[in-house]
Amino acid sequence: MAEMTTVAWDLGDLFSKVDDPEIDRTLDKALARAKAFAKRYRGRINSDDLTAETLAAAIRELEQISVAETKAASYAAMVFFADTSKPEHGALMQHVQERTTQISLELVFFDLELMAARPEIVDKLLSDERLANYRHFVRASRLFRDHKLAEGEEKILEEKANTGGRAFERLFEESLSAVEFKITLDGEEQSLTEPEIIALLREPNREVRKAAAESLTRGLVENGRLITFIFNTLVYDKSIDDRLRRYDHPEQPRNLANELDRQTVETVISACVEGYPLVARYYRVKREALGIDKLYHYDRYAPLFESRRQYSFDQARKIVLESFGRFSAEMRDAAAEFFERGWIDAEPRKAKRGGAFCMYVTPDAHPYVLLSYLNRKDDITTLSHELGHGVHASLARCQTLVNFSSALPVAELASTFGEILVFESLVAKSDLGQKLALYAEKIEEVFATIFRQAAMYRFEQELHRARRELGELTAE
For residue 290, the one-letter residue type is: L
Question: CB of 23 within 8 A of CB of 15?
Answer: yes
What is the rounded distance in angstroms from the CA atom of residue 182 to the CA atom of residue 211? 10
What does the buried/exposed string (b/e) look like for 110-128 if buried means 16 or more CB atoms within 10 Å of the residue's CB? bbbbbbebeeebbeebbee
pLDDT of residue 5: 67
> What is the 3-state composition of the chain as percent helix, strand, coil, each rounded to the nearest 5?
70, 5, 25
Of 158, 173, 203, the one marking the end of a domain is 158
Q: Quick check: 307 pLDDT over 80?
A: no
Full domain range(s) for residue 129: 21-158
331 domain-assigned: yes
What is the rounded distance in angstroms from the CA atom of residue 319 to the CA atom of residue 208? 28
pLDDT of residue 437: 87
pLDDT digits 0-9 by tens, 442-453: 999 999 989 999
Helix (H, G, I), strand (E, B) or coil at 223: coil
CA angle at residue 112 from 109 to 113, to 5 degrees? 85
pLDDT digits 0-9 by tens, 141-159: 999 999 999 999 999 999 9
pLDDT digits 0-9 by tens, 379-432: 999 999 999 999 999 999 999 999 999 998 899 999 999 999 999 999 998 888
pLDDT of residue 305: 79
What is the rounded distance in angstroms from the CA atom of residue 385 to the CA atom of residue 415? 4
What is the rounded distance in angstroms from the CA atom of residue 465 to the CA atom of residue 457? 12
Beta-bridge partners for 181: 192
Of 392, 407, 429, the one marking the end of a domain is 429
Q: Are strands 368-370 and 357-359 parallel, antiparallel or unpaired?
A: antiparallel
CA 242 to chain centre: 22
226 domain-assigned: no
- Single out the residue of 20, 164, 188 nearest to residue 88, CA to CA: 20
207 domain-assigned: no
Count other Cβ atoms within 10 Å, centred on residue 334. 20
99 domain-assigned: yes
Q: What is the mean pLDDT of residues 50-54?
A: 97
334 domain-assigned: yes
What is the rounded distance in angstroms from the CA atom of residue 233 to the CA atom of residue 215? 26
What separation in angstroms does the CA of 157 have from each of 74, 116, 229, 259, 433? 22, 19, 21, 24, 57
Q: Quick check: 3 pLDDT over 70?
A: no
For residue 52, the one-letter residue type is: A
pLDDT digits 0-9 by tens, 87-139: 999 999 999 999 999 999 999 999 999 999 999 999 999 999 999 999 999 99
Q: Quick check: 285 pLDDT over 60?
A: yes
Task: Read off φ and ψ for residue 12, nearest 5 degrees.
Answer: -65, -20
CA 455 to chain centre: 19
345 domain-assigned: yes
Residue with the bigger pLDDT between 307 and 68: it is: 68
**DSSP secondary structure, 101-168, as one string:** HHHHHHHHHHHHHHHHS-HHHHHHHTTSGGGGGGHHHHHHHGGGGGG---HHHHHHHHHHGGGTHHHH
Angle between helix 87-116 and helix 165-178 axes, rounded to 10 deg = 150
Q: What is the mean pLDDT of residues 48-75?
A: 97
pTM of whole model > 0.85? yes
pLDDT of residue 1: 38
Helix (H, G, I), strand (E, B) or coil at 373: coil
Question: CB of 109 within 8 A of CB of 38?
Answer: yes
**Percentage of the chain modeled with pLDDT above 70:** 98
The residues, ordered by sequence, that sit 6+ positions from 52 with a Cβ below 8 Å of its Cβ are: 125, 128, 130, 131
pLDDT of residue 434: 86
Q: What is the mean pLDDT of residues 71-79?
A: 98
Q: Quick check: 308 pLDDT over 80?
A: no
Q: What is the mean pLDDT of residues 47-62?
A: 97
Give how many domains the chain has, as a whole number: 2
Count other Cβ atoms within 10 Å, centred on residue 328. 13
Of 133, 158, 183, the one marking the end of a domain is 158
Q: What is the mean pLDDT of residues 172-200?
A: 93
Residue with the bigger pLDDT between 377 and 329: it is: 329
pLDDT of residue 433: 86
Helix (H, G, I), strand (E, B) or coil at 60: helix
Mean pLDDT of the chain: 95
344 domain-assigned: yes
211 domain-assigned: no
DSSP state of 370: E
- Single out the residue of 44, 169, 58 nearest to residue 113, CA to CA: 44
Q: Quick check: 2 pLDDT over 60?
A: no
Q: What is the mean pLDDT of residues 80-84?
A: 95
What separation in angstroms does the CA of 357 have from each of 187, 203, 395, 398? 35, 24, 17, 22
Q: What is the mean pLDDT of residues 72-89?
A: 96
CATH code assigned at 105: 1.20.140.70
- Single out the residue of 385, 377, 310 nearest to residue 344, CA to CA: 385
